Every structure is written in structure tokens, then in C-alpha cells.
């Protein structure tokens, strides 16, 4: 019995209670619903940074400067994600998964709601921009720990044979929130520009408070994971979980960071920069561009759950390799399709690009990282290897894409090359991961992982 494959007897000896089927379902619903809300909030800002915040909060910077300033505040949120993630993950590994998951959804939701009441540059000058940056920082702090916490709870509450399937729901939840936010702005985009920029853009931000209260209620009903309770009983909780995971699992962390350097930039390049590229360079109407993205998300969500099932069937390594191969092959066709100006072709390449870069590897990466790390530092480990790449190459992806588009004299081929390079980095991470992490732990079929 290895450190990542305890048998039922080990859990029972440690005194950790087993989750009932009803409690297991509650964990899944709580994790997924909270993640939907978190990414609804976060995507609201991403879409608004493409369409709203430039002219409303940074009008003096000019057309290009206002876009860069708006994307800059978007990047700030991702820059603080590692700080927030590590802060909340530290206490998640020390005091429990449940209380910290409640905290993250409150921090994220309240900061998003307050964006809906901020004064614009026309109303308060530079003060509005500074308050926007502050709310963005709080958003980043909250979301930094959310996905890692959800993945931790789901995998600790699922048998080995269904961890890919459970992780698929966590990944799909990201895009469920993204879809709701994007559809909301697509509908708002039907309004006249003076109405949209005047007050209508505030509605989805203010509405966040309702869904946050629902998410908080659901999360109060879940039990602490059996794996964490077992860690408490065995007295293995660490005072500094981050230090322990860095010292004990450096290779695994570096490999996972490389994998996330592939997955995360693809997402933000298509979702955030892609929207701006389609509306400003290709000249698609914003409602058409948003519709293309939404269709991509609608196909992606069940694709992620199905991909999780494939992880349980074929193993996470194969799904990661398929994803890397797809990323390398589809980088140029995605931009070729966007550049065509055809809504149909744009939709097809968006669906294909999201499926190969997000659908195939997302659940697999979650299973890999939870297998590689022990309970006492699992949340901290997932956070550090995911959120640092999110800040370095994720949040900067729209800015880098704008720069590469300028260097390419308005053509997107340097952006596609950049994505291929990052995909190659992800492939190195997959191949360098210790082989034991990919091995299925059949002795733990009915027990949460330790």
C-alpha cells in the first residue's frame, strides 16, 4: 500500500467516517455549484474587460490604450491568484476543506457584486479605475483557491474508478459559469450601445449576490472530507503545508506546472483575446462573436464529463497526450478559422480548439495532481502548480496576444506559434511525470484517497 493508495482498513483504523451516497452527492453538487458561481463572476470581468471597461474606466488612453489598460486589470486579477490561492489553501490543508470553500465563494461573490456599483471615469475620474483594480484584486484572491479546493474535495470523496468522471464535472462547472456570463453579455449586447455602456452592464454584476447566497447555503450542507478527517485523526496535519509539498514533491509540482502552462493560456487566448480579435480585427458583430464562443462552451461541457469517463477507462496519461497532440495540430487552424470572418467556420474552430485544449486534458490533469499529492498538503500543492502558471502565462495571454498581433502586422500566426510552444512545454510535463502517478490504484476502489 503506497502513500496514495490506502485500503479501506487504513481509513477505518484512522477513525475517518465514510461518506454516504447522499453526502457524496452533496459534495459533488456543492463543489460544482460553487465553481459555477466563481467562474460566472470571473468571466463577467473577462468579457467586460473586452467590451466595457476600456471606454468606461480608461477613456483617456485612446482606443488601443484603453484595451491594454482593461486587459492589464484582467491580468492583475490573475497575478494575485497565486497569493489568494496559497493563503486559502494553507488554511484548507490545516483547518479543513469546508470552511475555506465557504470563505472563497463569499470573497469572490461580494467583490463582483460591488463592481456593479462602481463609479466610472465620467463620474469619479481616476477613483473609479482604482476601485475597479481593488475589486479585481479581491476577485483574484477568491478564485485563486476555488478550483483547487473543488478538485480536492471531489477527488477525496470519490472512489478511484470514478475520479476522472468527478473531475470532469469540476472542469465542466468552470465553463457552465463562463457560459452563463457570456450569454448574459450576449443578450445585453442586443441593447443600444448607450444603454449598455450607461447602466445595463451593471446588472449581471449586481445579480451575483443572489447566486452567491445559494452557493453558500449548499456548501453549509456538506460534510468535511473523510480523507481530511483521517489526516486529523492520524495527526499528520502540517504547520506549513506549502513548505512540505515543495520539499517532498518538487518533480511532481514542476511537471504539473508545465502541464498547466499548456492548458490555461489556451483558455484565455480563445475566450478573452479571441473575443476582442473577432470584434475589432475581424469585424464580426459582438453578438455574433459571443454566440460563437457560447456554442463552443455548450459543446465543451458534456465533452469534459465524457473526457473524465475516458480518463477512468484509459488512464490520465493517454488523455493528456491526446490533448497535447490536439493543441499542436489545431493552433493554426483555430486562427485561420477566426480570420476567415465566417461565423460558421469560427464556431467550428472554437469548438475544436476548446475540445482539444480544455476538454481532453482538464479532468486528466486533476486526477494526476490529486494522485501525486498527499492529503496534508494536497490543496496547497494543487494551488502552487496551477495558479503560478495561471498568473505568468494565463493572465498575460491576452496582453501577449495583442503584442504578437502587433509584431505580426495584424496577422495572428505568431500567437498560434506561441500556443504551440506552450503545448510542447505541457508535453514535457506529461512525459517527465513519475510513472507511479499514472498507475491505477485498484486497492482503493471504495475509499477516499489519503
CATH number at residue 39: 1.20.1250.20
DSSP letter, residue 61: G
Task: For residue 300, tell me if it sits in a domain.
Answer: yes
Contact by Cβ (8 Å): 104, 85: no
Sign of CA dihedral 49, 182, 138, 82: negative
Measure Cα distances from 140 to 134, 145, 232, 261 in Å.
Answer: 10, 9, 30, 18
Q: Look at residue 313 and give its three-state secondary structure.
A: helix
C-alpha cell at 81: 491568484
Distance of alpha carbon 392 from its chain centroid, rounded?
A: 14
Residue 75 in domain: yes
Residue 198 confidence (pLDDT) = 82
Contact 163, 444 (CB under 8 A): no
Three-state DSSP state, 199 = coil
| Phi, psi torsion values for 96, nearest 5 degrees | 130, 160
Q: What is the pLDDT of residue 79?
A: 77
Helix (H) or strand (E) run with residue 115 in it? helix 97-115
Angle at 322 between CA 352 and CA 264, to 5 degrees: 65
3-state class (DSSP) for residue 374: coil
Number of H helices, E strands in the chain: 24, 0
264 and 42 Cβ atoms separated by less than 8 Å: no
- For residue 8, tell me if it sits in a domain: no
The pLDDT of residue 450:
59
264 lies in some domain = yes
Nearest by Cα to 15 from 237, 228, 238: 228
- Do the domain assignments include residue 11? no
Whether 9 is in a domain gets the answer no
DSSP state, 4? T
Helix (H) or strand (E) holding 64: helix 62-79
Answer yes or no: is 447 within a domain.
no
Q: What is the pLDDT along the chain (450 residues), one digit of tens a residue?
A: 344 444 333 444 444 445 566 666 777 777 787 788 777 877 777 777 777 777 777 776 656 666 677 777 777 877 787 888 899 999 999 999 989 988 988 888 888 899 888 888 788 877 888 888 888 888 888 877 888 888 898 888 877 778 888 889 888 888 888 888 878 877 887 888 788 878 888 888 898 888 888 888 888 888 888 889 888 999 999 999 999 999 999 999 999 999 999 999 998 898 878 888 898 888 888 778 888 888 988 999 999 999 999 999 999 999 999 999 999 999 999 999 998 889 999 999 999 999 999 999 999 999 999 999 999 999 999 999 988 888 789 878 888 998 999 898 888 999 999 999 999 999 999 999 999 898 865 433 334 455
Terminal Cα distance for the chain, rounded: 11
Residue 346: predicted pLDDT: 92
Q: Are 244 and 45 in contact (CB under 8 A)?
A: no
Give me the helix-helix angle, 163-188 and 361-372, nearest 10°: 130
DSSP 283: -
Within a domain: residue 369? Answer: yes
Structural domain of residue 189, as residue ranges?
20-439
* Inter-residue contact 394 to 272 (CB < 8 Å): no
When divided into structural domains, the chain yields a total of 1
Amino acid at each position: 500500500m503506497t502513500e496514495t493508495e490506502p485500503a479501506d482498513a487504513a481509513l477505518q483504523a484512522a477513525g475517518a467516517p465514510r461518506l454516504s451516497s447522499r453526502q457524496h452527492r452533496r459534495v459533488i453538487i456543492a463543489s460544482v455549484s460553487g465553481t459555477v458561481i466563481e467562474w460566472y463572476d470571473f468571466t463577467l470581468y473577462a468579457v467586460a474587460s473586452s467590451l466595457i471597461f476600456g471606454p468606461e474606466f480608461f477613456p483617456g488612453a485612446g482606443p488601443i490604450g484603453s484595451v491594454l489598460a482593461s486587459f492589464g486589470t484582467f491580468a492583475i486579477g490573475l497575478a494575485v491568484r497565486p497569493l489568494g490561492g496559497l493563503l486559502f489553501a494553507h488554511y484548507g490543508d490545516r483547518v479543513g476543506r469546508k470552511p475555506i470553500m465557504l470563505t472563497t465563494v463569499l470573497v469572490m461573490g461580494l467583490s463582483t457584486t460591488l463592481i456593479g456599483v462602481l463609479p466610472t471615469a465620467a463620474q469619479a475620474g481616476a477613483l473609479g479605475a482604482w476601485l475597479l483594480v481593488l475589486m479585481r484584486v479581491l476577485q483574484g484572491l477568491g478564485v485563486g483557491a476555488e478550483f483547487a479546493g473543488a478538485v480536492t474535495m471531489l477527488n477525496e470523496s470519490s472512489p478511484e474508478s470514478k475520479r476522472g468522471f468527478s473531475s470532469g464535472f469540476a472542469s465542466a462547472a468552470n465553463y457552465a459559469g463562463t457560459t452563463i456570463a457570456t450569454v448574459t453579455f450576449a443578450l445585453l449586447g442586443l441593447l443600444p450601445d448607450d444603454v449598455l455602456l450607461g447602466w445595463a452592464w451593471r446588472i449581471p454584476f449586481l445579480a451575483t449576490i443572489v447566486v452567491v447566497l445559494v452557493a453558500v447555503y449548499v456548501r453549509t450542507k456538506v460534510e468535511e472530507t473523510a480523507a481530511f478527517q483521517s489526516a486529523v485523526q492520524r495527526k499528520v496535519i502540517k504547520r506549513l503545508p506549502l513548505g512540505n509539498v515543495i520539499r517532498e514533491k518538487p518533480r511532481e509540482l514542476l511537471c504539473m506546472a508545465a502541464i498547466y502552462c499548456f492548458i490555461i493560456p489556451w483558455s484565455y487566448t480563445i475566450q478573452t483575446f479571441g473575443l476582442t480579435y473577432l470584434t475589432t480585427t475581424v469585424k464580426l458583430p459582438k453578438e455574433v462573436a459571443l454566440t460563437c464562443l457560447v456554442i463552443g462552451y455548450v459543446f465543451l461541457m458534456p465533452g469534459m464529463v465524457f473526457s473524465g469517463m475516458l480518463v477512468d477507462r484509459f488512464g490520465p496519461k493517454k488523455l493528456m497526450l491526446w490533448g497535447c497532440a490536439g493543441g499542436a495540430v489545431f493552433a493554426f487552424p483555430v486562427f485561420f478559422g477566426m480570420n476567415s470572418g465566417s461565423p460558421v467556420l469560427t464556431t467550428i474552430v472554437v469548438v475544436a480548439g476548446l475540445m482539444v485544449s480544455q476538454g481532453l486534458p482538464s479532468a486528466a490533469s486533476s486526477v494526476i495532481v490529486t494522485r501525486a499529492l498527499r492529503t496534508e498538503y494536497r490543496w496547497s500543492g494543487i494551488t502552487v502548480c496551477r495558479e503560478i502558471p495561471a498568473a505568468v502565462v494565463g493572465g498575460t495571454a491576452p496582453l501577449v496576444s495583442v503584442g504578437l498581433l502587433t509584431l505580426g502586422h495584424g496577422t495572428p500566426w505568431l500567437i498560434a506559434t506561441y500556443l504551440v510552444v506552450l503545448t510542447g512545454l505541457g508535453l514535457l510535463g506529461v512525459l517527465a511525470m513519475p510513472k507511479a502517478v499514472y498507475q491505477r490504484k485498484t486497492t482503493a476502489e471504495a475509499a477516499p484517497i489519503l
